[in-house]
Structure 1
Amino acid sequence: MLRLIADATPAMLAYFEAGTLLCRFANARYAEYFGKQPQEILGLSVREIVGERIWEQISTYLQRLEEGVLETIRYTRQAPDHEGRKQHMEAALHPHVIDGTLVGVVALITDVSHHHLLTQQMLANEERMRKFAAITTEAIVLHRDGLILDGNDALVRMTGYSIDELRGSPILDYVAPQFRLKALQYMRSEREDSLQSAFIRKSGELMPVEAEAKTMPGEGDEYRIVLLRDMTANIQARQHIDFLAQHDQLTHLPNRSHLSRLLEKTLTQARSQQTRVAVLSLDLDQFKAVNDSLNHRAGDLLLCELAQRLRNALRPQDQVARIGGDEFVVLLAENPSLLETEALATLLRSVAEQPYQIDGTQLVISLSMGIAMFPKDGNSPEELISNAEAAMHMAKNRGRSFVQFYTPALEGRATRMLMQEQLLRQAVERGEFELHYQPQLHLDSGELAGFEALVRWKHPHRGLVHPDEFIGFAENRGLIAAIDHWALREACRQARAWQDAGYPAVPVAVNLSAQEFRQRDVVQEVSQALTHAGLDARLLHIELTESTLMQSGGQVPDALHALKALGVGLAIDDFGTGYSSLAYLRKHPIDRLKIDRSFICDLPHNPDAAAIVSAIVQMGHSLHLEIVAEGVETLAQRELLQNIGCDMMQGFLVSAPLPCEQAQHWMSQHCHPLQRQ
């Protein structure tokens, strides 16, 4: 029975008589460790069994027993196994005592190599975690049942408290009051997703943070490890992007889209209270002469000074916006009468026409002004702004520095718009459009990344017309779908033709309007265009605006996912000028962001512009999006964009938009034969 029990134990077991240290019993595992059978080592001494090397390690422990230390002696020794690997052996020498006399020793030896390895790994992990916690810029705090246990150096830097001040205090004491209930629920439910909150610094200021917690096993009880990210810079960057999306970058006045929202809100209130609203359209007389005679910088300084004067002259409840070029719109709320409106218009004109000192040169300008009144002259923001502009153009026709109220007699402008619509319809029917192609390059290698196809109108009287002059009009008149349809098919056809001719198989990007997504089966249209041209879907990119992306209540999300399933690339054009939420970029299968040229033009000298572009690049990369910079015109801009990690660029530094034949010649000159192959 003793033999059975001894051989079944996983440890090595042996019994030696006192004095002689001769082996009187050993289990099979003990004997096998020394390469023998149990019966072979019976009668041998410890020294004969273990050999000289091991004897030197253990003899002192056995000697202590011989000297009368009648208690269990434990020790650990290292020894290589038969394959040369280091083993850790843990031994316990139990004295066998009868009537106070040592008669034998029981040796119990266990291989603890595995436990030692686990311990070393745990220590190594703890050391790695300690180093990570020390170098990371994100704060780490550990708490159990809401009481802070520990934190890293970043927590000290971020909050201003020392670890000793934090340790043992409730973590909720440092959460801003308006977030405490949400933080308590987050903690009690042991959620592990991210939580937006705010931390109270030692100085008393609030620091916006994003918290992410994990529940970890610990000695006796679980604890929570919380990662805190300071979101101050992110929030400031987003606020700045939002500001730029709603404001003119030069004057910091509200832009056209922001003005439309302000005016819509004002009109809603005016309808409920049955009050008047005045819209004033202001335009500088002969502003082009300022740019031509001085320079564009002088023109910009003049516009900024004028914007400041208008803002200072208005009442707190009124608004002024710059909607483009040298055109401003003033919104007068709170029931202005005709006399009050005319008086304020006269004041604005007087203030604006005071002399300016621009770069040492004195300038005097004049304003032409048109006024439309709600509800008499229009019922919507678009109608009021349009009628105020019509009145302003009439004022210009009368000469300089005139103020003109809108009258129905100005409907001649509508006649001109009707003629414009007829010409555009004829252009669609007669195919009076052509595509120009602007190259896009990889910033790191300088290789051709693709082309953007840009539509031009071959006007019967004016020649080649830029899309800025007719695309918006075509959208308002319901003609944009036909233009988009033609441009899509033509771009696919040309891309395939270049590919067949041996030129690089690179993507071509086509802009599609929001109406295309709302009113047509855009997926079927794209699929048919690809099939008709025989073009691989991967060589077509669809560019859409942020406003199109925002229309998630309709067919847009389904259409985008269906296009992605086809293999078509999707890009957001003019990113940063709209008013979209960054959450939309996560919801939709977007591949690429194109930073609007208005952000690029001030690089590298404008720190704000550089910070915004860098933030867009980092944010885009965090969402696994490619970033394209539009409007790159200088080597300094290219160098900065390359340094901050922007992927691609397009602009006049590479090439202006080129007609088909010139684009083909450009490829012949710039594309390496290997790339063509």
Structure 2
Amino acid sequence: MPSPRPPASPPLPDLGPRASDALLRLIADSVPVMLAYYESTSLRCVFANQRYAAFSGQTVQSIIGKTVREAIGEKAWQEILPYVQRALAGESVQYTREYAGPQGRAHMLEISLQPHFGVREGRNAMVGAFVLINDITHHWEAERAVRQSEERMRKFAIATEEGLAFHRDGRILDANEALQRMVGYSLAELVGQSIFDFALPEYRALAVEYTRRGSEKPYELAMRHKDGRVIPIEVVGKTMPQQEGDYRVVVVRDITARKQAQEQARFLVLHDTLTQLPNRRHLMMQLARMASAAQERQTRAAVLFIDLDHFKTVNESLGNQAGDQLLIEIARRLQDGVKATDFVARVGGDQFIVLLPDLANRAAAAEVADALLARVRAEFAIGGTPLSLSPSIGISVFPDDGYSPDELLRRADAAMHHTKESGRGTRMFYEPGMEGQPTELLQQEHLLREAVFQGAFALHYQPQVRVADGRLVGFEALVRWRHPVRGLVGPDEFIPLAESRGLITPIGRWVLHEACRQLKAWHDEGLPRVPVAVNLSAIEFRQRDVVGEIAQVLQSAGLAPQYLEVEITESALMQQADHTRTTLQALQALGVAVTVDDFGTGYSSLAYLKRYPLDKIKVDRSFVTDTPADSEDVAIVTAIIQLAHSLQLQPVAEGVETAEQLALLRRLGCELAQGFGIAPPMDAQRAREWLRAQAE
């Protein structure tokens, strides 16, 4: 039985033929859709508004009387025919269709076919159909962009090894598989939980405040794995706006490898790789602390300088491996022979230092020295061969023999040498006169002061190149003293004296002015524009208005800030942290790059590398010299390079002398290098010629 037809539409108010037509036309042309009416039997257009006619490439007058097929074309007709047939059967039809516009741009149309019923031949029947077309391209493109974005995010979330979490007000909405693996929880276990609960308690307040402020800078914290392990992580959050409420995307990186590299680098820099004892750098830090504590508590402390007698004979007769085993055993005996509060270090070769804090008197130091003599003299068995050694021990006492770490160590060393001269195998306290007279030192100070007054200095320039292709990237300016007797003298031989006698500031100012003047002269000649690096001592960095002076010198020389780099030691960074941070930030704002020079030879605290705005780390030449033959030095160089990369700093290797060293650095990913194997430091004229040759 056929379904009943809808009742006929009520007639429009009778406004008169002309008024009704005009009103209908006004309404039809005003609505923001395409509108047409087709007669049901012939499918010819009876009415169309301007939007519909223009869309079909016609006018209102030209489209009237045309069939649907004629109005829209054969291709479109074949596409919509199934919908037309449904409408002719009396069904209200809605569908969407993609349409290529005049310039080929894709449009999306939303089409509604509404049957119109009226009285025909005395009965209610379908007389025509209304066509309403809405261009929904804008909404379609927006929805497609959202879908594509979500699909890209889904693919990225699957592919990346970084953890991704989505949360609103701290409640986890979703997480990728990488994060699930990282924390050990399934997605079902994560969703709905507070993201802050996964951070260790000591970091939760930090995480909550970070989210509250909507911060988007990376920061470090630690979380606990489901199995109880603590995982160090780096987190970056970003707020994503949505109509139903903003949510946060959190990127979580497992930085366990970075932390391990930092710890490895810290250990290697502060410890002897053979005996695992603290090394000289660690010793000087501990000696300074011991002297400060002894002065504060008004107690005595002692330094024991231990040198093994005739140790060279062991290496020559049994080989280096036997010698290494012997040193390891001696280190163990020394540690076992002192209290837990005492300090044992190996400072090189067959030399060891023992620090004894909180001594009641000098006799207590003698008792420890005698006990250690007995321990070391006891027979060793190395590779089945019995060995006997005797040590010579020199002792200095705080405050009797000095206050500073350098004085105490130097005088213990002098006492040890007097012990060897007096027959070896015993111990001796320092006595005045063991170090000799300071006449030569006073003479050198006098000559250096004259050199400052006369400007008797010169700058040599050592090229710094890119390891990958040998391309020149800059120069380091190295100061030389024109000594009246010895000729050109390197900085290692007079800078310590200048620092101790208050002469380093005028020398540093001269170096800065001359380096900037010379580099600007080369630039004006049309030579390659590369930066020059100058060294600042810790004293200069602390006492001078470094930023103000550099800005003034750059302006005076007419040199752009990006062509000047400053190299500072670790000790400069470790002092007056607030002043240091302010100075480095001001240098960064000025556009001057900062390099940590001789990394690994100072205090070696790694915290400042992340805390301060730095650009490069220089691997000290002492670590490079014996590579690639020395596996211990290779390990240190590798650790420093990896540490630099993890902190997004450029590693620079000093002291490169051989092609093998350069090849090793290339394999390790070291970016920059300098050394005699690349080019020696050159005076200004030879550096200019070298620079010109690079430009050809």
- TM-score, with normalisation over the residues of structure 2? 0.80
1:118 maps onto 2:126 in alignment: no
> d(CA) in 2 for partners of 1:137 and 1:577?
36
Aligned-residue offset at 1:370? 1.9
Any idea what the Cα deviations from partners look like across 1:567-603, whole Å, max 9, x if unmatched?
8764331123333666756776755432113443565
Any idea what the Cα deviations from partners look like across 1:469-518, whole Å, max 9, x if unmatched?
55434433434456656766777798799999999876665434223344
> d(CA) in 2 for partners of 1:358 and 1:459?
51
1:34 maps onto 2:34 in alignment: no
1:15 maps onto 2:37 in alignment: yes
Any idea what the Cα deviations from partners look like across 1:506-555, whole Å, max 9, x if unmatched?
66654342233445566788799999999998776543212223445697
The answer (yes or no) to whether the contact 1:428–1:482 under 8 Å persists in 2 is no
The answer (yes or no) to whether the contact 1:492–1:535 under 8 Å persists in 2 is yes
The answer (yes or no) to whether the contact 2:463–2:475 under 8 Å persists in 1 is yes
1:278 maps onto 2:302 in alignment: yes
Correspondence for 2:442? 421
One-letter amino acid matched to 2:677:
L
> d(CA) in 1 for partners of 2:521 and 2:25?
90
> d(CA) in 1 for partners of 2:214 and 2:546?
45
1:140 maps onto 2:164 in alignment: yes
Aligned-residue offset at 1:131? 2.0
1:96 maps onto 2:123 in alignment: no
Equivalent residues in 2 for 1:263-342 (5 A)?
Answer: 263-267=287-291, 269-270=293-294, 274-285=298-309, 303-323=327-347, 326-342=350-366
The answer (yes or no) to whether the contact 1:437–1:451 under 8 Å persists in 2 is yes
CA pair 393-528 structure 1, distance change in 2 beyond 3 A: farther
Correspondence for 2:569? 545
Aligned-residue offset at 1:673? 6.9
One-letter amino acid matched to 2:38:
F
> d(CA) in 2 for partners of 1:627 and 1:162?
40
Equivalent residues in 2 for 1:411-490 (5 A)?
Answer: 411=433, 413=435, 416-426=437-447, 429=450, 438-452=462-476, 454=478, 468=492, 471-481=495-505, 484=508
> d(CA) in 1 for partners of 2:87 and 2:61?
26
Candidates 633, 640, 644, aligned match of 1:613: 640
> d(CA) in 2 for partners of 1:298 and 1:422?
46
> d(CA) in 2 for partners of 1:145 and 1:204?
26
**Aligned-partner SS, 2:438:** helix
> d(CA) in 1 for partners of 2:387 and 2:489?
33
**Aligned-partner SS, 2:58:** coil
> d(CA) in 2 for partners of 1:268 and 1:40?
103
> d(CA) in 2 for partners of 1:489 and 1:148?
58
Candidates 559, 565, 576, aligned match of 2:600: 576
How many residue pairs end up in the alignment?
664
The answer (yes or no) to whether the contact 2:88–2:115 under 8 Å persists in 1 is no
Correspondence for 1:675? 694
Any idea what the Cα deviations from partners look like across 1:433-463, whole Å, max 9, x if unmatched?
7776655333222245555455667889999
> d(CA) in 2 for partners of 1:149 and 1:565?
41
**Aligned-partner SS, 1:399:** coil
Correspondence for 2:13? none
Aligned-residue offset at 1:629? 0.5
Correspondence for 2:665? 641
Aligned-residue offset at 1:411? 4.0
Aligned-residue offset at 1:204? 1.3
> d(CA) in 2 for partners of 1:297 and 1:652?
32
**Aligned-partner SS, 1:333:** strand
Correspondence for 2:6? none
One-letter amino acid matched to 1:76:
T
Shifted more, 565-574 versus 223-232: the winner is 565-574
> d(CA) in 1 for partners of 2:602 and 2:444?
30
> d(CA) in 1 for partners of 2:586 and 2:230?
44
Correspondence for 1:62? 84
Shifted more, 16-25 versus 521-530: the winner is 521-530
Candidates 184, 191, 207, aligned match of 1:183: 207
> d(CA) in 2 for partners of 1:658 and 1:244?
30
> d(CA) in 2 for partners of 1:245 and 1:191?
35
CA pair 315-569 structure 1, distance change in 2 beyond 3 A: same
Aligned-residue offset at 1:108? 0.7
CA pair 291-578 structure 1, distance change in 2 beyond 3 A: same
CA pair 363-543 structure 1, distance change in 2 beyond 3 A: farther
Candidates 35, 39, 45, aligned match of 2:67: 45
One-letter amino acid matched to 1:335:
L
Shifted more, 232-241 versus 496-505: the winner is 496-505
CA pair 356-508 structure 1, distance change in 2 beyond 3 A: farther
The answer (yes or no) to whether the contact 1:444–1:647 under 8 Å persists in 2 is yes
> d(CA) in 2 for partners of 1:537 and 1:49?
70
One-letter amino acid matched to 2:603:
Y
> d(CA) in 1 for partners of 2:343 and 2:117?
102
1:76 maps onto 2:103 in alignment: no
The answer (yes or no) to whether the contact 2:619–2:637 under 8 Å persists in 1 is no
The answer (yes or no) to whether the contact 1:518–1:554 under 8 Å persists in 2 is no
**Aligned-partner SS, 2:437:** helix
Any idea what the Cα deviations from partners look like across 1:66-91, whole Å, max 9, x if unmatched?
3343xx21112233333444432221
Any idea what the Cα deviations from partners look like across 1:39-69, whole Å, max 9, x if unmatched?
3333443334333332222232222233343
Shifted more, 200-209 versus 308-317: the winner is 308-317
Equivalent residues in 2 for 1:125-204 (5 A)?
Answer: 125-204=149-228
Any idea what the Cα deviations from partners look like across 1:136-175, whole Å, max 9, x if unmatched?
2210011233332222221133222232332333323322
Equivalent residues in 2 for 1:306-385 (5 A)?
Answer: 306-323=330-347, 326-354=350-378, 365-385=389-409
- TM-score, with normalisation over the residues of structure 1? 0.82
> d(CA) in 2 for partners of 1:281 and 1:125?
69
The answer (yes or no) to whether the contact 1:599–1:613 under 8 Å persists in 2 is no
CA pair 601-379 structure 1, distance change in 2 beyond 3 A: closer
The answer (yes or no) to whether the contact 1:617–1:645 under 8 Å persists in 2 is no
Aligned-residue offset at 1:92? 0.7
**Aligned-partner SS, 2:601:** coil
The answer (yes or no) to whether the contact 2:168–2:247 under 8 Å persists in 1 is yes
**Aligned-partner SS, 2:669:** coil
Aligned-residue offset at 1:427? 5.1
**Aligned-partner SS, 2:359:** coil
CA pair 454-307 structure 1, distance change in 2 beyond 3 A: farther
> d(CA) in 1 for partners of 2:90 and 2:589?
84
Structure 2 segments unaligned to the other structure (5+ residues) = 1-22
Shifted more, 145-154 versus 643-652: the winner is 643-652
**Aligned-partner SS, 1:571:** strand
Shifted more, 277-286 versus 130-139: the winner is 277-286
**Aligned-partner SS, 2:36:** strand
Structure 1 segments unaligned to the other structure (5+ residues) = none
